[in-house]
Structure 1
Amino acid sequence: MTFDHIVIGVGGMGSAAVCELARRGQRVLGLEQFEIAHANGSSHGLTRIIRLAYNEHPNYVPLLRRSYEMWRRLEADAGEELLVITGGLDLGASDSRVLTGALEACRQHDLAHEHLSTGEIKSRYPAFNVPDGFEAVYQPDAGYLRPERCVTAHVAEARKMGAEIHERETVLGWEHRNETFIVKTDRATYEAPSLVVTAGPWASKLVSELGAVAKPKRQVVGWFQSSEPALFEVDRCPVFILDVEEGEYYGFPIDSRTPGFKLGRFHHLHEDLDPDAPRREPDAVDEEVIRRALRRYFPAADGPTSLIQACMFAMTPDRHFILDHHPEMPGLTIGAGFAGHGFKFASVIGEIMADLAAGGVTDHNIEMFSLKRFAS
Structure 2
Amino acid sequence: RRAGFLRPEASIAAHLRRAAELGAELRFEEPADAWEADERGVRVRTARGSYEAERLVIAPGAWAPQLLDLELPLQVLRQVLVWFDPEGGTEPFLPDRFPIYIWETPRATFYGFPHQEGPPGGVKVALHGGGEPCTPETIDRNVRPDDIEELRAVIGERIPALRGPVLHAQTCMYTMTPDEHFVLGMHPHRPNVVVASPCSGHGFKFASVVGEILADLAETGATRHPIGLFDPTRFA
Task: Give 1:225's aligned residue.
Answer: 85
- Matches of 2:101 and 2:190, distance apart in 1: 41
Please give the secondary structure, in 2, of the residue aligned with 1:373: coil
Shift of 1:187: 1.1
Please give the secondary structure, in 1, of the residue aligned with 2:80: strand
| Counterparts of residues 147-226 of structure 1 (less than 5 Å) | 147-210=8-71, 212-226=72-86
Equivalent residue for 1:327, pick from 166, 184, 188:
188
Q: In structure 2, what residue type is equivalent to 1:148?
A: E
Shift of 1:228: 3.0
- Alignment check: 8 A CA contact 2:115 2:123 kept: yes
Task: Give 1:342's aligned residue.
Answer: 203
Q: In structure 2, what residue type is equivalent to 1:203?
A: A
- 1:292 and 2:153 are equivalent in the alignment: yes
- Alignment check: 8 A CA contact 2:37 2:193 kept: no
- Matches of 1:280 and 1:350, distance apart in 2: 29
Please give the secondary structure, in 2, of the residue aligned with 1:273: coil
Q: In structure 2, what residue type is equivalent to 1:286?
A: D
Deviations 1:76-119 (CA, angstroms, capped at 9, x unpaired): xxxxxxxxxxxxxxxxxxxxxxxxxxxxxxxxxxxxxxxxxxxx
Q: In structure 2, what residue type is equivalent to 1:219?
A: Q
Task: Give 1:263's aligned residue.
Answer: 125
Q: In structure 2, what residue type is equivalent to 1:260?
A: G
Deviations 1:19-55 (CA, angstroms, capped at 9, x unpaired): xxxxxxxxxxxxxxxxxxxxxxxxxxxxxxxxxxxxx
- Alignment check: 8 A CA contact 1:268 1:289 kept: no
Shift of 1:188: 1.6
- Matches of 1:204 and 1:195, distance apart in 2: 17
Deviations 1:132-155 (CA, angstroms, capped at 9, x unpaired): xxxxxxxx3111100011111111
Equivalent residue for 1:254, pick from 107, 115, 123:
115
The alignment of Structure 1 onto Structure 2 pairs a total of residues equal to 234
- Matches of 1:146 and 1:374, distance apart in 2: 33
Task: Give 1:144's aligned residue.
Answer: 5
Please give the secondary structure, in 1, of the residue aligned with 2:26: strand
Shift of 1:275: 1.2
Unaligned 5+ residue runs, structure 2? none
Query: Normalising by the residue count of structure 2, what TM-score does the alignment of the two structures yield?
Result: 0.95
Task: Give 1:373's aligned residue.
Answer: 234
Displaced runs of 4 or more, over 2 A: none
Shift of 1:335: 1.0
Equivalent residue for 2:142, pick from 281, 285, 288:
281
Shift of 1:295: 2.0
Q: In structure 2, what residue type is equivalent to 1:297?
A: R
Unaligned 5+ residue runs, structure 1? 1-139
Query: Normalising by the residue count of structure 1, what TM-score does the alignment of the two structures yield?
Result: 0.60
- Alignment check: 8 A CA contact 2:174 2:199 kept: yes
- Matches of 1:307 and 1:246, distance apart in 2: 24
- Matches of 2:130 and 2:97, distance apart in 1: 26
Instruction: Give the helix-richer structure, 1 or 2.
Output: 1
Shift of 1:337: 5.1
- Matches of 2:35 and 2:195, distance apart in 1: 14
Shift of 1:374: 0.6
User: Identity over aligned residues, as a percent?
Assistant: 38
- Alignment check: 8 A CA contact 1:214 1:337 kept: no
- Alignment check: 8 A CA contact 2:77 2:130 kept: no
- Alignment check: 8 A CA contact 2:110 2:155 kept: no
Q: In structure 2, what residue type is equivalent to 1:266?
A: H
- Alignment check: 8 A CA contact 2:152 2:162 kept: no
Q: In structure 1, what residue type is equivalent to 2:126?
A: G
Shift of 1:234: 0.3
Please give the secondary structure, in 2, of the residue aligned with 1:333: strand
- Matches of 1:230 and 1:337, distance apart in 2: 35
